[in-house]
Amino acid sequence: MAQAAPDGGWSCPDHGSIDPLWRPEEASYDGFVDQLRRAGPFPTYLPWPMSPGWSVTDFGVVGTGPERARATMTCCSGTSELDGPVDVLVVTEEAGTGLGARCAGTAYADPGAEIGEGPPAVKVRLDNQAVGLWPVSTSAATGEWDRSVVAGEARGRWLWLVLRPASAMLLLRDDWILRDVSSLGPGLVETAFGGPRPSW
């Protein structure tokens, strides 16, 4: 567990000097406003528009202030006809941060050398930009998680999507749009929050 270090930073017994992760006890509108304030100009992505019956169930930001954020994470949860309950985690981060790897359960901080090799497995739209995402292997991960992981580069940062169960990867065949909701304003009032948080 991270602890405050004598120099005013944060330290982890396993990883040394780190940037802390802020994550609320439960997902709520007020907590999400706090998330956006903490993230500052760093983007916070959500699938947009969210499907009926889906809600934001988790979110967090890595960094020590609005001008020093290094990563953000959101999770939307709902159901699909084929998969039943589904979690979709979206992480964007600076290289070497490791939040995406932590959510995905992979062994290394960044996605890996296979990113960019061959055609992407899927593409999502980030506003008007098409972003290719490649599969990230979780075979060496600890634990028995039923999930699919894809990652790629978007606007100079890593972009990860972690979908559970693994079969939910088929949802990405549709035209998925991710939106930076930090500038959405009043539209967030209509967004549903709450529900069981994913385990990661």
Radius of gyration of the chain (CA): 16
Domain count, the chain: 1
pLDDT tier for residue 108 given thresholds of 50, 70 and 90: confident
Could you give the percent of the chain with pLDDT greater than 90? 62
Residue 78 — φ and ψ, nearest 5°? Answer: -170, -155
Q: Would you say residue 123 lies in a domain?
A: yes
Identify whether 20 is part of a domain: yes
Asked whether residue 87 is domain-assigned, the answer is yes
Q: What is the DSSP string of 6-69?
A: TTSSEEETTTEEEPPEE--SS--HHHHHHHHHHHTTS--EEESSPPTT-EEEEEEEESSSTTS-
Q: Are the C-beta atoms of 62 and 69 separated by less than 8 Å?
A: yes
pLDDT band at 144 (very low <50, low <70, confident <90, very high): low
Confidence of residue 4 (pLDDT cuts 50, 70, 90): very low
In a domain, 30, yes or no: yes
Mean pLDDT, rounded, for 50-63:
95
The model carries a pTM of: 0.89
Query: 3-state class of 160 per DSSP?
Result: strand
Task: Identify whether 162 is part of a domain.
Answer: yes
Structural domain includes residue 144:
yes
CA–CA separation, 145 vs 171, rounded Å? 18
In a domain, 200, yes or no: no
90 vs 75: CA distance, rounded Å: 6
pLDDT digits (tens, 9 = 90+) for 31-56: 999 999 999 999 999 999 898 999 99
**Is 197 inside any structural domain?**
no
* 34 and 173 Cβ atoms separated by less than 8 Å: no
Q: Domain range holding 87? A: 3-190
Q: Mean pLDDT of all residues in the chain? A: 86
